[in-house]
Amino acid sequence: MDDGEIASVPLLAQSLADWRPVDGETGKIADVAGLTALTEAFPDSSSVKLRLLNAQLQAGEGAAMLDTLNWLNERGYVFSEVARGQIPKLIGEEFAADAAALLLAPSEPVENSEVAWTVPAEAGLVESVLVDVEEGRIAVTSIATRSLWGTTPDGSWRQVELDRADNLTGIVYDRSSGDIWVTSGNVDQSDDDVVYFSGLMSVLKGPQGPRVEAPDNVVLSDLHRADNGTLYASDPLNGGVYFLGPERETIKTLLEPGTLRSPQGLATSEDGKRLYVSDYRYGIAIVDLATRKVSRLSSGVPVILDGTDALFRRGNSLIAIQNGTSPMRISQFELTDDGSRVVAHRILEMAHTQWTEPLSGYLGREALYYIGNGQWDKYVAGELGEGKQLEPTQVRRLPLAD
């Protein structure tokens, strides 16, 4: 498929596949039979396919390896230069030539965005973005400085500190109250002597403004505001999903810890009845908000649905920032009318030469604004690594077609 080309299949009614619970033990499955079953449960996960490929290699199943390599090839997966040299040697002489033919060379970059703002290096590890498109202003959350950074009317940057804030990650604008909410929690797993606040914090009413505590041992990260005013937040460390109703009184559990492995980006469906949640290594889960039943977003076209960090809905499609794939990409998935299945796929950007790690962002009417050069790789348990130097953070603007 050419970059940017839409691949499609007819819109057919499909039954929803149950989401298989995944936990730490699931990640330890290493035998061919177990991983084959896991690929059947999560058929659009490149992470699971790569684990299966390694198990097939260890078991000497060269023919089966070709099938797995073909699956990855069809979805544009690119192995490292070292792996491309080793796999044909390891698979055995009988299958070496066929394996080499399935190993794609590095992809040509797909670059459609431009830098809209540059956040000062002093902001450290920047995670999420909120944009006021009409005013041309922006606010970002910082994990490293435990604060907000935003532009002033004259275009300069200002740091805003919140009382007892921990790592600040998700950020949304609450249209009903005109306020901004952010998530605060020990996302970087630093060993802190100070007791910081964990939960949701209101921003515009001062550094000690309204806030709602998270349940015990819950670390909230990504944040999404539904059209009805409900705030949804994911806990990537413990596998739960939570919500704060429009009354803004108590954070409640939508999915118990351990339901998902590492839930991250969230987006509500067009009709507001379902919540899409990216489970980083396994794919995209669908939560029925009335019953809390969890199912799996499936696909009728060759796609990779895992590796999704940030997730947004645009009409009846999902836009996914996939920094856990190779190459990294920003994808748009067109859905069936019932929102249960991918029927078309478009690459919006891929392997951008200025990326380090694309992170979360803000979806406007005409463009996606996102962090292009995430700096997670420079930190260890909340501390800047030895010899590492911070760079200004690029917030990029990616125009979106109708």
Q: Is 238 helix (H, G, I), strand (E, B) or coil?
A: coil
Given this model, what pLDDT does residue 145 score? 96
Q: What Rg value do the Cα atoms of the chain yield, rounded? A: 21
For residues 391 and 375, the answer to whether their CB atoms sit within 8 Å is: yes
pLDDT digits (tens, 9 = 90+) for 92-141: 999 999 999 999 999 999 999 999 999 999 999 999 999 999 999 999 99
**Averaged over 285-309, what is the pLDDT?**
97
Q: Which residues contact 228 (CB under 8 A, 6 or more apart)?
A: 246, 272
Burial of 394 (C-beta count, 10 Å sphere; 0-12/13-18/19+): buried
Q: What percent of the chain has pLDDT over 90?
A: 88
Distance CA 296, CA 123 (A): 37
Given this model, what pLDDT does residue 246 score? 93
pLDDT digits (tens, 9 = 90+) for 195-229: 999 999 999 877 777 899 999 999 999 999 999 99
Tokens of 177: 């109250």
Chain mean pLDDT for the chain: 94
Q: Which residues contact 276 (CB under 8 A, 6 or more apart)?
A: 266, 267, 268, 269, 284, 285, 286, 287, 297, 311, 313, 318
Q: Is 201 helix (H, G, I), strand (E, B) or coil?
A: strand
Given this model, what pLDDT does residue 5 score? 41
Please tell me the number of Cα atoms within 13 Å of 258 on its side-chain side: 5
**Averaged over 180-184, what is the pLDDT?**
97
Q: Which residue type sits at 257? A: P
Distance CA 186, CA 164 (A): 12
Given this model, what pLDDT does residue 24 score? 85
Given this model, what pLDDT does residue 23 score? 84
Q: What angle do CA 72, 77, 78 make, to 5 degrees?
A: 125
Q: Is 113 helix (H, G, I), strand (E, B) or coil?
A: coil
Distance CA 389, CA 278 (A): 31
**Averaged over 172-177, what is the pLDDT?**
90
pLDDT digits (tens, 9 = 90+) for 324-359: 999 999 999 999 999 999 999 999 999 999 999 999
Burial of 291 (C-beta count, 10 Å sphere; 0-12/13-18/19+): exposed
Given this model, what pLDDT does residue 381 score? 85
For residues 199 and 220, the answer to whether their CB atoms sit within 8 Å is: yes
Calculate the CA dihedral of residues 291, 293, 299, 303 and round it to 10 degrees: 120
Given this model, what pLDDT does residue 144 score? 94
pLDDT at 13 over 70: no
Distance CA 158, CA 65 (A): 53
pLDDT at 1 over 60: no
